[in-house]
Amino acid sequence: MRTQVAIVGGGPSGLLLGQLLHKQGIDSVVIERRSQAHVLGRIRAGVLEQGLVGLLHQAGVGNRMENEGFLHDGTMIAHEGQMFRIDFAEHTGKSVMVYGQTELTRDLYAARDASEGKTLFEVEDAAIRDAETEKPYLTLTHQGKAMRIDCDFIAGCDGYHGISRKSIPADKRHEYEKVYPFGWLGILSATPPVNDELIYANSERGFALCSMRNDQLSRYYIQCDALDDPDNWNDDDFWDELRRRIPEEAADTLVTGPSIEKSIAPLRSFVTEPMRWGRMFLCGDAAHIVPPTGAKGLNTAASDVHYLFEGLRDFYASGDMQGLDQYSGRALDRVWKTERFSWWFSNLMHRYPDQSAFDQKMQLAELAFLRDSPEAQAAMARSYVGLPY
| Sole binder of ligand PHB in the list 294, 303, 331, 386 (CB under 6 A) | 294
Q: What angle do CA 128, 133, 137 make, to 5 degrees?
A: 35
Residue 220 identity:
Y
Interacting residues with ligand PHB between 40 and 99 (CB under 6 A)? 45-47
Which of 296, 307, 316, 327 is flagged as catalytic? 296
Catalytic residue list contains 230:
no
Q: Which does 247 bind (CB under 5 to 8 A by kind): ligand PHB, ligand RFL, none?
A: none
| Sole binder of ligand PHB in the list 295, 298, 335, 349 (CB under 6 A) | 295
Q: Which is nearer to ligand RFL, 141 or 355 (CB)?
A: 141
Q: Which does 163 bind (CB under 5 to 8 A by kind): ligand RFL, ligand PHB, none?
A: ligand RFL
Q: How far is CA 251 from CA 48, 248, 378, in A?
A: 26, 5, 28
| Sole binder of ligand RFL in the list 51, 136, 284, 311 (CB under 6 A) | 284
Q: How far is CA 59 from CA 3, 12, 112, 180, in A?
A: 20, 12, 10, 36
The helix-helix angle for 297-318 and 322-349 (nearest 10°) equals 170
Q: Cβ 210 to ligand PHB, closest distance in Å?
A: 9
Query: Which residues pair with residue 110 across a beta bridge?
Result: none
Catalytic residue list contains 135:
no
| Sole binder of ligand RFL in the list 297, 315, 332, 384 (CB under 6 A) | 297
Report residue 86: phi and psi, to 5°. -105, 120
Q: Which is nearer to ligand RFL, 80 or 261 (CB)?
A: 261
User: For residue 309, what are the contacts with CB-CB under 8 A and spacing of at least 6?
Assistant: 17, 20, 21, 24
Q: Which does 17 bind (CB under 5 to 8 A by kind): ligand RFL, ligand PHB, none?
A: none
Nearest C-alpha neighbor of 182 from the set 207, 200, 211, 203: 207
Catalytic residue list contains 389:
no
Nearest C-alpha neighbor of 49 from the set 111, 112, 95: 95
Which of the residues are catalytic? 72, 200, 292, 296, 384
Instruction: Name the residues that contact ligand PHB, by CB under 6 A.
Output: 45-47, 198, 209, 211, 219, 292-295
